[in-house]
Structure 1
Amino acid sequence: MRKPVVALVGRPNVGKSTLFNRLVGEPMAIVDDTPGTTRDRLFGEAEWVGREFDVIDTGGIDPASGRSDPLSIGSAEYVRQIREQAVLAVQEADAVLFLVDAQSGVTPADREVAEILRRSQKMVNGNLTPPIFLVVNKADSANLRMQAGEFYELGIGDPYTISAAHGTETGDLLDALVAALPTFEEDEDPDSIKIALVGKPNVGKSSLLNRLVGEERAIVSPIAGTTRDAVDTKIDYEGLPVTLIDTAGIRRRGHIEPGVEKYSVIRSMRAIERADVSLLMIDATTGITAQDAHIAGFIQEAWKSTVVLVNKWDLVEKDNYTMNQYTERIRQDLKFMPYVPILFISAKSGQRVDQVLPLAVKVQEERIARLSTSQINRILQAAQDNHAATSRSGRSLHIYYGTQVRSDPPTFMVFVNDPKLAHFTYIRYLENQFRKEYAFTGTPIRFVLKARR
């Protein structure tokens, strides 16, 4: 069951990153007084009164465009960027937090964003969707909170005065937010292998989907998700029910600026949450990019399995070393996922497309594999014999025994003398020893260390 998505929208320097950090509970976003500060991370998970939701910061647009006033909206290019950003927020999010600055008052940029948000909402069952909350940030004094009434002119509704930096009055805002978030039903077909096609726009997701569906010739039915979700396609592959989750058609290439481009992965994130296996598609003509690595990071953090597909391979000039060079580059940029298989394909010509579903099904089988307790403890004992954990403060980590407590993904409970003595490098070493015994191709494996009483 996927979690609702909440988008933080507003002009630069209104405190979106500060509120983002407060909601997710850690400094994932870089906070700086300079408008348009770039962040490395875009998504985070938040929870309030037992309700979990995902948060996305839509920062990264610098409206200055050579002008002296960074809050000006006079640049035609900036108008287009902010319009694309705000429209995408309404289309893809389940709720929007529209941030303004109490200290600056209403600005032309605020009016522009408000107009876009209002026009983009839809009426569903008598309610405007998605709900938009007007958040007047930096209201650090009683006087600023009293002046927040001027923001009524934006036509968004009652303002919520907060201080993201200090956490003032954020509780009332979050109470109203979680009350407005939708609840999504569990998947109707738990037996189906769910395979998501994810990646940047224009990497060939639609072409691959059409090729896979056309070759299998076994479409059961197209199933629409929620109004803002991608469309699922169910097929039968060698007697196995498979659900292909398509995230294609987000935007045409060249229509979104780099700052807004990061926002395109909302659908990818949702697909990843629902999927068992994600097919991460990379454009061979451009090579792997930071955005590809971001999406791979989302897959890993969701503990999902992965196959990397390098598409448009037919358009690359090749020699005997080209494929190895591409593979080495991908391995380097995705070094946090050394277990993923890489397949070079052409969705347009059909080159190696016949290998995609067999590989995805194999990865899914690896995902639900289970090792016997005796097998696990034999691996753990050999690992300790070959390389004991480094001593800390006169004490060394000692492993007593382990067992697999779940699959999907494979999760191992390891009982030790003190979990605090385990360095992450030793956990990585243990993972490597397990993969020598059983590869778990394309699948992350998780270790949970527990002190034995």
Structure 2
Amino acid sequence: MPLPTIAIIGRPNVGKSTLFNRLVGKKLALVDDQPGVTRDRREGEASLLGCDFRVIDTAGFEDEDAASLPGRMRQQTEAALREADVALFLVDARQGLTPLDEEVGRWLRAADVPVILAANKAEGRLAESSIYEAMALGFDDPIALSAEHGEGIADLFDALRPYIDRPDLEVEIDDPESPDAPLKLAIVGRPNAGKSTLINKLLGEDRLITGPEAGITRDSIAVDWEWQGRRVRLIDTAGMRKRAKVQEKLEKLSVADALRAIDFAEVVVILLDATKGLEGQDLKIADKVIAEGRAIMIVLNKWDVAENASYLFNGVKQALDDGLAQVKGVPLLTVSAATGKGLDTMLKVAFETREAWSRRVSTGSLNRWFERAIEANPPPAPGGKRIKPRYITQNNTRPPSFVLFGTRVDLLPESYRRYLINGLRREFDFGAVPVRLNLRAPKNPFDP
């Protein structure tokens, strides 16, 4: 049974994202003083006093042409209202009612959804007159609250409770390491690579705002979905430009949010624009993903309009081999977000990559391989001192991590450590997922 859903709706800059973060208990949505920060609708799960529910943060409601960016944002808000069990209509108690508040109120009254009116930023006496003024909107008495300071949240919860309190609702808790758990798949890359278009094509709906404007996506948006009966959590992210070009505070926040999405993901698709090829920024993003221990895939989008396709593919492949020396054989796929070609293959490879990223090897198999590897290529003896590797064990998965024990193994050169890591990849079919190898040498009691 789906969770009861609350949609937070109001004009720009009334504090919807701040209230969203307050309800879900995390700073998921970007918050800034300038209006229009939120564009796509963002979802999060919340739990208050034993009630579990879903919250949707929406873009500021504006009366603009449907083809414009504000108009496309409004369409996302309208879609959120259709999903909601109750609408939480937020106004700004400091500024008082505006004509746009009244328009939003008329729209909500015409909708077949219960509406709870709340006056945000209601700290202090200055807001009192505006709170009373909000009664003219034609809903029940407004709830005075401060999303920033947490005031009035108990009163808000009392008003929401009839719509979200479902004692019969059972919430499933996933074991993240179960193969049946949702695949957490983040789509990252430079601006205008087609990340949102790709996700919309997978979903079969205009879930995310797209358009010719660069940098439309600001928040990292997670959407739950199913592919061939298997659950997927798709994560759209803001485009990441070179650090030197990122000057505005809001873009810095968007990039930081995209980096957090990488931390949350299991498999990360770095989406390239096939009409522009591979750039140094793409390799920097890939390095970040690998450093975080996430499985990685490189996907060339807009393949349907790429020129000199074979030359381009081989050039990108060679550049990846040269630029990502620490992870050889990263999957390189071609897709078209516009036509949908190649997307099923991308999902299939993503699930296979997660399986390798989560793989655990038995200690027996591991040490039989280890003995053969040491015999085939004995470790060096720096300064005439023999290095004696004893045994190896896997201490973690996601990414696969191993510990090598032995005498003076901390003196092993990086080239030999790389030899062992590459051997682990080949022997146990880890592919291109990050593999970590730590060296543990017991301290010699005779050393000073």
Q: TM-score range with shorter-chain normalisation? A: 0.5 to 0.7
Determine whether 1:105 maps to 2:96: yes
Question: In structure 2, what residue type is equivalent to 1:168?
Answer: E
C-alpha RMSD over aligned residues: 6.0
Q: CA deviation at 1:34?
A: 3.2
2:43 and 2:56 in contact (8 A); partners too: yes
CA distance in 2, matches of 1:55, 1:176: 15
Alignment partner for residue 359 of structure 2, among 351, 357, 369? Answer: 369
Secondary structure, counterpart of 1:22 in structure 2 = helix
Higher mean C-alpha deviation, range 353-362 or range 87-96:
353-362
Name 1:165's counterpart in structure 2: 148
Name 2:19's counterpart in structure 1: 19
Q: CA deviation at 1:101?
A: 0.7
Question: In structure 2, what residue type is equivalent to 1:247?
Answer: L
CA distance in 2, matches of 1:39, 1:281: 13
Change (3 A) 1:98 1:357: closer
Alignment partner for residue 264 of structure 2, among 301, 307, 310? Answer: 301
Alignment partner for residue 150 of structure 1, among 109, 133, 140? Answer: 133
Which sections of structure 1, spanning at least 5 residues, go unmatched?
64-72, 122-127, 207-245, 283-289, 332-336, 380-385, 387-399, 415-428, 447-453
Name 1:88's counterpart in structure 2: 79
Alignment partner for residue 247 of structure 1, among 177, 197, 203? Answer: 203
Change (3 A) 1:203 1:433: same
1:9-88 aligned within 5 A: 9-27=9-27, 29=29, 31-37=31-37, 46-51=46-51, 53=53, 55-59=55-59, 80=71, 83-88=74-79
Secondary structure, counterpart of 1:11 in structure 2 = coil
Change (3 A) 1:434 1:168: farther
Change (3 A) 1:99 1:357: closer
Change (3 A) 1:161 1:346: closer
Alignment partner for residue 174 of structure 1, among 153, 157, 160? Answer: 157
CA distance in 2, matches of 1:410, 1:133: 46
1:46 and 1:54 in contact (8 A); partners too: yes
Alignment partner for residue 117 of structure 1, among 105, 108, 114? Answer: 108
Q: CA deviation at 1:100?
A: 0.4
Name 2:376's counterpart in structure 1: none
Name 2:307's counterpart in structure 1: 317
Change (3 A) 1:256 1:97: farther
Name 2:223's counterpart in structure 1: 269
Name 2:120's counterpart in structure 1: 137
Which sections of structure 2, spanning at least 5 residues, go unmatched?
188-194, 238-250, 270-296, 322-326, 370-378, 380-391, 404-416, 437-448
Q: CA deviation at 1:250?
A: 1.9
Change (3 A) 1:439 1:142: farther
2:18 and 2:148 in contact (8 A); partners too: yes
Identity of aligned residues (%): 35
Q: CA deviation at 1:115?
A: 2.7
2:59 and 2:74 in contact (8 A); partners too: no
1:108-162 CA-to-partner distances (Å, cap 9, x unmatched) read 11122223334343xxxxxx4xx54322101113563465243233344442210
Q: CA deviation at 1:86?
A: 2.7
Higher mean C-alpha deviation, range 352-361 or range 145-154:
352-361
Name 1:235's counterpart in structure 2: none
CA distance in 2, matches of 1:356, 1:142: 57
TM-score for the superposition, normalised by structure 1 = 0.52
CA distance in 1, matches of 2:41, 2:422: 30
Q: CA deviation at 1:172?
A: 2.5
CA distance in 1, matches of 2:216, 2:338: 28
Change (3 A) 1:193 1:38: closer
CA distance in 2, matches of 1:323, 1:356: 16
CA distance in 1, matches of 2:39, 2:368: 44
1:373 and 1:403 in contact (8 A); partners too: no
CA distance in 2, matches of 1:339, 1:17: 41
Question: In structure 2, what residue type is equivalent to 1:9?
Answer: I
Alignment partner for residue 344 of structure 1, among 334, 355, 380? Answer: 334
1:204-243 CA-to-partner distances (Å, cap 9, x unmatched) read 865xxxxxxxxxxxxxxxxxxxxxxxxxxxxxxxxxxxxx
Question: In structure 2, what residue type is equivalent to 1:301?
Answer: F
Secondary structure, counterpart of 1:314 in structure 2 = helix
Question: In structure 1, what residue type is equivalent to 2:92?
Answer: D
Change (3 A) 1:252 1:105: closer
1:261-301 CA-to-partner distances (Å, cap 9, x unmatched) read 669x86x612289955568899xxxxxxx999978965762
Change (3 A) 1:368 1:75: closer
Larger radius of gyration: 2
Change (3 A) 1:401 1:113: farther
CA distance in 1, matches of 2:106, 2:261: 32
1:6 and 1:94 in contact (8 A); partners too: yes
